[in-house]
A and B are shown apart, each in its own frame.
Chain A
Amino acid sequence: MTTLMAILIGCLYAASIYMMLRRSMVKLLIGLILLSNAANLLIFTVAGLERGVPPLIAQGAETITGPTADPLAQALILTAIVIAFGVLAFAVVLLHRAYEVIKTDDMNEMKGTD
């Protein structure tokens, strides 16, 4: 399962970089979205994939025994998802506004400030 996830994450990273290298603004945006999702999945995977073992302390016990899912990694992902959502919402508006002002989708036309 971990190997499968690793391959999937690798593909996501590759796809996102590929999309960001295209000229179109929309593809740039898709690239950014894929990238943040790839990073989230990566955290999820490296923290250890456990199935059906919530991190609960059994009644009467002091500590957790045996392997459990890592709740901290999921908290990190939750935070990262919220942040990525906010930032990407900004990026969508920015690109839309840029399209209105510059009137093109082609990044090659945006050399005015270089």
Chain B
Amino acid sequence: MDMSVLIALPVIIPLIFGALSLVVLNNHGAQRLLGMLGTTAVLAAAILLLWQTQIHGIKVLEVGSWPAPFGIVLVSDLLGAIMVLLAAITGFATAIYSLKTVRKRFERFGYYPLLHLLLAGVNGAFLTGDIFNLYVWFEVLLVASFALLIQGGERAQMEGAIKYVTLNLLSSAIFLTAIGLLYGMVGSLNMADIAVRLTAVEDPKMVTLVAMLFLIAFSIKAAAFPLFFWLPASYHTPQVAVSAIFAGLLTKVGVYALYRVFSLMFTGEVEFTHQILLWMAVFTMLTGVLGAASQYEVRRILSFHIVSQIGYMMLALALFTPLALIGGVFYIMHHIIVKANLFFVAGMMYRLGGSFELKELGGLYKKHPGLAVLFLIPAFSLAGVPPLSGFFAKFILIKAGVEAGAWWAVAVALFVGLFTLFSMIKIWNEAFWKKAPEPAIEIPAPVRNKALYWTTGILASMTIAIGLFAQPIYVLAEMAANQLLNPQLYIEAVLGGGQP
């Protein structure tokens, strides 16, 4: 099989399945079948792509055979391929979970086509090597996420969606502005070509200015301090399957974009740009975790924790040492799986306990010990308890911080880890451990649903596997970090004529 076509598959497959599900919009069975088939196919393509990328190095597809830097290129380096695989895993888990949780009404309003479109947008953003194309994929995934977010049309969803839409459109406009200025400066849109041409720009201050615009745009999308408040205002409003895939993937697209531009293009004034990143990372970690401590609704607690975890990923980029980037890539791998899983578990807590409010929950451990175990695994992993995946992610990062002498950041990272544990124990105590509140809320006889247990079970076992087999994951992250630190590999792959 021709390798370079493989790069396009994670984008094309969801688009095709999205179109097919539109055709059978009124046939619920066919929609669900297409949902499962499509996400399974993407998963297979993503595994193949990562495998091939790991063996053969960075792979490039020149779309329409227009040679780089003139045409659009799709590039699969290790970071991109890893992100695509994570997106595929999340998409697959969401598809299983959706089988039993998404109402028919929403299916009729295009839940599945939107899900496929969202995946196509996310994968496109991870694989493109063209900065304007990245903007287009951002918009594709945004439009799909807008529509998914307001399915249901409740008041809370409207209020959340207004904030979500406004901030994301603002971020897109800033992104577009930055692209325009960059194009005016170097006259190219191909990221590898831009990286080469930026070294020849006479005024480095101007480059840093544009870099700051990119930083603002992407940090809004990643929900980093100070413009993160759209996330906890909106992520708890849609149905759980949607919340989970948003929590797993969308902010990470912003993080990925930051990793890409600040490792490939804007490496001229590292002391300045990455110092700002460091401060943003520290405040993102702190505000997220403190926000979570004051919340008593499961999904809102988890939403604030997304913010604080984004801080860790930015910290890795800010330190910009080999070990830190390994930690960053490892952290992203661990985080996407754990975060999506926690939202899935929250959805099951709602089905079995009748509420998302900690006050109204209780006694779940006694009634559903299986669910309790499934909650504990990702929750402890999020907090960084060994031997789960989160421990190694945090350990590598903090070691990198110590080596770089960023003491304040290390102190904050440790403190935030402790507070994350506090938050998770809070959920555990209230929802699982304490007695069910009296009078118990009338819950229509809870259906033990195998599909839901399977979803969270698979993701939880991945969390354990990443923890137990941390070495091969570490090696993979090390290779990805190595590519990030040596942008000439990326540049040679793209500008060196693509595939022989």
Which of A72, A79, A87 is the one whose CB lies under 8 Å from B169?
A: A87
In the bound assembly, the distance between CA atoms of A83 and B156 in angstroms comes to: 27
B360 within 8 A of A: no
In the bound complex, residues from chain B placing their C-beta under 8 Å from that of A43 are 176, 179-180, 183-184
B296 within 8 A of A: no
In the bound assembly, the distance between CA atoms of A3 and B146 in angstroms comes to: 38
- Kindly supply a per-residue 1/0 record for chain A positions 92-109, scoring 1 wherever the CB is within 8 Å of any chain B CB and 0 otherwise: 001101100110000100
Q: Taking A80-B176, A113-B234, A113-B236 as contacts, is the C-beta distance between A90 and B143 under 8 angstroms? A: yes
Stretch at the interface among B159-167, B259-267, B268-276, B470-478: B159-167
- Write the nearest CB–CB distance from B187 to chain A, whole angstroms: 8
B170 within 8 A of A: yes
B115 within 8 A of A: no
B158 within 8 A of A: yes
Q: Taking A47-B184, A112-B155, A113-B156 as contacts, is the C-beta distance between A94 and B161 under 8 angstroms? A: yes
Contacting pair A98 B159 (CB below 8 A) = yes
A7 within 8 A of B: no
- Write the nearest CB–CB distance from A10 to chain B, whole angstroms: 12
In the bound assembly, the distance between CA atoms of A87 and B166 in angstroms comes to: 11
Contacting pair B166 A46 (CB below 8 A) = no
- Kindly supply a per-residue 1/0 record for chain A positions 68-80, scoring 1 wherever the CB is within 8 Å of any chain B CB and 0 otherwise: 0000110010011
Contacting pair B158 A101 (CB below 8 A) = yes
- Write the nearest CB–CB distance from B466 to chain A, whole angstroms: 33
In the bound complex, residues from chain B placing their C-beta under 8 Å from that of A35 are 169-170, 173
- Kindly supply a per-residue 1/0 record for chain B positions 388-399, scoring 1 wherever the CB is within 8 Å of any chain A CB and 0 otherwise: 000000000000
Q: Taking A39-B173, A42-B177, A47-B184 as contacts, is the C-beta distance between A113 and B159 under 8 angstroms? A: yes
Contacting pair A112 B183 (CB below 8 A) = no
In the bound assembly, the distance between CA atoms of A23 and B103 in angstroms comes to: 35
Contacting pair B173 A46 (CB below 8 A) = no
Interface size on B, residues (CB 8 A): 39
Contacting pair A46 B170 (CB below 8 A) = no
- Write the nearest CB–CB distance from A29 to chain B, whole angstroms: 9
In the bound complex, residues from chain B placing their C-beta under 8 Å from that of A98 are 158-159, 161-162
In the bound complex, residues from chain B placing their C-beta under 8 Å from that of A113 are 156, 159-160, 163, 233-234, 236-237
In the bound complex, residues from chain A placing their C-beta under 8 Å from that of B229 are 114
In the bound assembly, the distance between CA atoms of A110 and B233 in angstroms comes to: 10
In the bound assembly, the distance between CA atoms of A32 and B143 in angstroms comes to: 15
Contacting pair A46 B181 (CB below 8 A) = yes
In the bound complex, residues from chain B placing their C-beta under 8 Å from that of A97 are 150, 153, 158
In the bound complex, residues from chain A placing their C-beta under 8 Å from that of B150 are 94, 97
In the bound assembly, the distance between CA atoms of A40 and B233 in angstroms comes to: 30
- Write the nearest CB–CB distance from B128 to chain A, whole angstroms: 14
Contacting pair A102 B161 (CB below 8 A) = no
- Write the nearest CB–CB distance from A32 to chain B, whole angstroms: 6
Q: Taking A25-B162, A39-B177, A79-B136 as contacts, is the C-beta distance between A87 and B142 under 8 angstroms? A: yes
Which of B132, B158, B183, B233 is the one whose CB lies under 8 Å from A46?
A: B183
Q: Taking A28-B166, A39-B173, A95-B162 as contacts, is the C-beta distance between A90 and B146 under 8 angstroms? A: yes
Contacting pair B139 A83 (CB below 8 A) = yes
- Write the nearest CB–CB distance from A14 to chain B, whole angstroms: 13
In the bound assembly, the distance between CA atoms of A83 and B139 in angstroms comes to: 7
In the bound complex, residues from chain A placing their C-beta under 8 Å from that of B185 are 46
- Kindly supply a per-residue 1/0 record for chain A positions 37-68, scoring 1 wherever the CB is within 8 Å of any chain B CB and 0 otherwise: 01110110011100000000000000000000
In the bound complex, residues from chain A placing their C-beta under 8 Å from that of B170 are 20, 32, 35
Contacting pair B180 A39 (CB below 8 A) = yes
- Kindly supply a per-residue 1/0 record for chain B positions 211-248, scoring 1 wherever the CB is within 8 Å of any chain A CB and 0 otherwise: 00000000000000000010001101100000000000
In the bound complex, residues from chain A placing their C-beta under 8 Å from that of B169 are 32, 35-36, 87, 91
In the bound assembly, the distance between CA atoms of A107 and B159 in angstroms comes to: 9
In the bound assembly, the distance between CA atoms of A67 and B166 in angstroms comes to: 39
Cβ contacts A to B, 30 pairs, < 8 Å = A20-B166, A20-B170, A25-B162, A32-B166, A39-B176, A39-B180, A42-B177, A46-B180, A46-B183, A48-B184, A73-B180, A76-B179, A76-B189, A80-B135, A80-B176, A87-B139, A87-B146, A87-B169, A90-B146, A90-B147, A90-B165, A94-B158, A95-B162, A97-B158, A101-B155, A110-B158, A110-B159, A113-B163, A113-B233, A113-B237
Given A72-B189, A94-B150, A97-B153, 8 more A-B residue pairs with CB atoms under 8 Å apart are A32-B170, A43-B183, A76-B189, A87-B146, A94-B161, A94-B162, A94-B165, A98-B161
B residues in contact (CB < 8 Å) with A: 132, 135-136, 139, 142-143, 146-147, 150, 153-156, 158-163, 165-166, 169-170, 172-173, 176-177, 179-181, 183-185, 189, 229, 233-234, 236-237
In the complex, the 10 A-B pairs of residues with the closest C-beta atoms, listed nearest first: A46-B184, A43-B180, A98-B158, A39-B176, A110-B159, A35-B173, A113-B233, A113-B160, A42-B180, A83-B139
